[in-house]
Chains A and B, each alone.
Chain A
């Protein structure tokens, strides 16, 4: 390493290429090839690190934060009242909504007099932090252990109510996301303002 290069180096991590002559054994190349092959072959007898996804899936944590769901209540009415707290708490500003007033004949569709006529989450912006879930006063939005599927177009990542709201006959189970402490808290009648 000459004087100039030490002056230029800012990180002291630069390596000077050595140009030394190879020994006779090194010039055969065979020992080095065999050494490499032995490393490769030894992996045949080690535990596999990859899995054959979609056929095989890794076990997920019960509280994995994946794709959102908008829950219905026990009678199949939408819980969301478009209060806007999820959008307010969202650090990525991924959530937008438009509220509307429930009509007389829609009482079996929406739980309260206000509902979200449009509810969109931009899955490209979402960072899956779960703040929307914590902010929700109506237990309407939950993150689930489902993965957001890949799409070809960016516009397809803006999920509307057609994807987010759970279907009446195919409910999404989120009971495991609520710890026993949360469930006992909810049973306390003095805190039951959420009915």
Chain B
């Protein structure tokens, strides 16, 4: 077991664990944000640089600090490693710069975007970014392409995290989309229109940290914070059937995978569950989904309300 200290908190982890995974084992404010790393997708991470941390001491054997900030999702821990996340001003400054870079070409169309309210980039910007932009040039734009009748694709919002590429590679046998071109010109594309047909393609929506891939059947139907998420499951021969269904009143507006507090889905669901079962009778409801308290989805949902008992107040007093 390796002992690693992150922001003055220590934990013992197995060799081969990355700094990010160790930080998530500790939990709380020591966890660096991650846009491209997804724990269920192999080889993901190392693209967005938002999880950069400073290694103040490489290991007990070699206590020199690492010369540059490292991506915590790709750096494995060493015994006696000392890591600084938010305690290092270097990291705070670097993360602010990373947010600025990610937002260079990302359109600020959150009022239009369906992802707003559950967007990783929005959260990253609020927590770690500066509230102004120094970018005065025209933003890079792409021509919109139609990738299928279930998924809405907006290439302008893509931050090239590769999550959807890994999801298609690892969940399905045939991947039909990928990153075309290089450098500044690179873009996610299917090249052929209407090409996405796989039965697990809907998971690209869940793994996308921004609003580049959104649910076409939910497009502009409602804002996520007006909906009430409920955990539900159903017998599905193709997938786990564990999902979150989003209600407004008695109506199911959309079905998604269950995202944990890092925005990652662990039980991927099939397209039948996601796009076709929009009736509450199709689902066995387990209860309300727990949403992190900072999220806008929690707004106006009254919790822990004590309902006064009016059935027999005298009896209660007597007892």
Residues of A within 8 A of B (CB): 81-85, 87-88, 93, 99-101, 112-114, 137-138, 189-191, 193
Contacts and interface: CB of A to CB of B under 8 A. Distances in A.
Contact of A138 (B111, B225, B299): B111
A113 B107 CA distance: 13
Interface of B: 108-112, 116, 132-134, 136, 219-223, 225-226, 296, 299-300
Contact of B109 (A84, A87, A112, A190): A112
Nearest to B299: A88
A100 B132 CA distance: 30
Contacts of A87: 226
B116 A83 contact: yes
Contact of B225 (A88, A112, A193): A88
- List the 10 closest A-B pairs by CB distance, nearest first: A83-B111, A84-B223, A193-B108, A99-B220, A190-B132, A114-B112, A81-B111, A114-B220, A137-B111, A81-B112
B223 A83 contact: yes
22 contacts: A81-B111, A83-B110, A83-B111, A83-B223, A84-B223, A84-B225, A84-B226, A85-B111, A87-B226, A88-B223, A88-B226, A101-B219, A101-B220, A112-B111, A114-B220, A137-B111, A138-B111, A190-B133, A190-B134, A191-B133, A193-B108, A193-B133
Given A83-B112, A88-B225, A99-B221, 6 more contacts: A83-B116, A100-B220, A112-B112, A137-B111, A190-B133, A193-B108
Contacts of B222: 84, 99
B135 to A, nearest CB: 8
B153 to A, nearest CB: 14
Contacts of A137: 110-111
A67 B108 CA distance: 30
Contacts of B136: 189-190
A145 B274 CA distance: 48
Contacts of B116: 83
A189 B226 CA distance: 33
Nearest to B107: A193
Contacts of A81: 111-112
A113 B132 contact: no
Contacts of A100: 220
A99 B220 CA distance: 6
A83 to B, nearest CB: 3
Nearest to B114: A114
Nearest to A93: B300
Contacts of B132: 190-191
A82 B112 CA distance: 8
A85 B223 CA distance: 9
A93 B133 CA distance: 34
A93 B300 CA distance: 10
Nearest to A99: B220
A112 B157 CA distance: 15
Contacts of B221: 99
A170 B106 CA distance: 37
B133 A88 contact: no
Nearest to A113: B112
A127 to B, nearest CB: 16
Given A83-B223, A101-B220, A191-B132, A88 B110 contact: no
Contacts of B111: 81, 83, 85, 112, 114, 137-138
A99 B109 CA distance: 15
A100 B223 CA distance: 12
Contact of B296 (A88, A99, A114, A191): A88
A142 to B, nearest CB: 16
Contacts of A84: 222-223, 225-226
A37 B35 CA distance: 82
Nearest to A137: B111
A14 B303 CA distance: 45
A52 B111 CA distance: 45
Contacts of A93: 300
A187 B194 CA distance: 42
Contacts of A138: 111
A121 B219 CA distance: 24
A193 B131 CA distance: 11
A112 B132 CA distance: 23
A149 B136 CA distance: 46
A131 to B, nearest CB: 13
Nearest to B223: A84
Nearest to B300: A88
A190 B100 CA distance: 12
A42 B267 CA distance: 84
